[in-house]
Amino acid sequence: MTGTIQSIEELKGLQAQFLTELGSARRVLIASHLNPDGDAIGSSLAVAAFLTLMGVDCDVVNADPVPENLKFLPGVNRVKSAPAHDEYDLGIILDLDSMNRLGRVRDCFNDIPRLMVIDHHVPHEQPGDLRIVMTGAPATCALLADLMLGSGIPLTSDIANYLLVGILTDTGNFRFPNTTPHSLHLAAELIELGADLPKMAEEVYHRKPIEAVRLLGWALSNFKTSMNDSLVWVTLPLRIFEELGASDQDTEGIVNEILSVGSARIAMILRESAGGRIRGSLRSRGSINVATVAQQFGGGGHANAAGVSFTSSLSAAEEEIVKALEECLASS
């Protein structure tokens, strides 16, 4: 077990241990967080494809389906809702800071004798026999790229695409402050290996179902503001999803759109699901840390991008978190 990694050199120093752990496994179960994004799906598929090259049997599970904008990736049908087997000798958890964010597939890992965690979030808990956690990394896929490149195992173009989609999405199409020189170097190496960046950017950012566009239009017409327009948010009640024929996946990107309001320092969307759960996505500019607000309600994430969920009503959740975000702004 290792602590949080501070440098690329330290990460490279774990490459041999990473490869040994994978190579000694007989059957591996891979999972990532609820509401998977590009980094979650990309890292899961990359590890699965890498294990296949090593001749190791593996399965990928997730509590939620692959988002529509990632279904262009080859092999996405590899992500299942439940394990194919009863027994695994290694579990790999990717891109999440606490086990409860696995949702209903969490229990699948209870009896697995060894656990590996690879992540770039500030950890809330520290499970795992081998932990490769680097909070300064732009994406879990960036960590995996460093571990896989130069491993002696030639990477396929599919793996290159999986790794690049995680880096692309977690850097916001290379727009966010976590777009480091190293992340761009990794992207270049992956493109050289066959990753198709133009197609990826088109599918992820510029191709949406009509229901998603209608939902975005509704959100842009109904957002609210406070604190001199420095806090911008919108609530998406279940009835709106039903009226527009939209799904939870269609909310992707809405929070970034309302953060584009020039005066906004924090943006949020709260969405109501059919099961009654309220999920929130938070974004911020500069040094404002919305992860600390999310943590007050059992959520988490990065300083400028975090998530949270509630079991209360939509109006009660809105009242609670808006107050907390206003306090965050007032103290910043």
Segment 242-254 shows an average pLDDT of 92
CA distance 133 to 123: 8
Tell me if residue 182 falls in helix, strand or coil. helix
**Per-residue pLDDT band at 302 (split at 50, 70, 90):** confident
CA distance 282 to 305: 6
- Is residue 230 within 8 Å of 264, Cβ to Cβ? yes
pLDDT in tens, 4-54: 888 999 999 999 999 999 999 999 999 999 889 999 999 999 999 999 999
Is the model's pTM score more than 0.85? yes
pLDDT attached to residue 26: 97
Burial code of 165-192, b = ≥16 C-beta within 10 A, e = fewer?
bbbbbbbbeeebebbeeebeebbebbbe
Segment 279-292 shows an average pLDDT of 93
Amino acid occupying residue 203: E
pLDDT in tens, 49-63: 999 999 999 999 999
Both tokens assigned to 10: 């330290």
Both tokens assigned to 154: 């030639």
Q: Which of 83, 78, 89 is nearest to 41 (CA)?
A: 78
Instruction: List, in sequence order, every beta strand (DSSP E) within the chain.
Output: 27-31, 57-61, 79-80, 90-94, 115-119, 130-133, 224-226, 231-236, 266-272, 278-284, 300-301, 305-310
What strands, in cross-sheet order, belong to the sheet with 79-80? 79-80, 57-61, 27-31, 90-94, 115-119, 130-133
117 has pLDDT over 70:
yes
Alpha helices, DSSP H, located in 38-156 = 38-53, 140-148
pLDDT attached to residue 3: 63
Strand partners, 79: 60
CB contact set of 193 (below 8 Å; sequence gap of 6+): 155, 156, 157, 159, 160
pLDDT in tens, 227-243: 999 999 999 999 999 99
**Per-residue pLDDT band at 298 (split at 50, 70, 90):** confident
CA distance 220 to 269: 11
Tell me if residue 271 falls in helix, strand or coil. strand
Q: What are the structural domains, with CATH classification, of the chain? A: 8-205 (3.90.1640.10), 210-330 (3.10.310.30)
CA-based torsion, 151, 156, 157, 163: positive or negative:
negative
1 has pLDDT over 70:
no
Q: Which of 146, 116, 141, 150 is nearest to 131 (CA)?
A: 116
CA-based torsion, 96, 68, 160, 138: positive or negative:
negative
Tell me if residue 235 falls in helix, strand or coil. strand
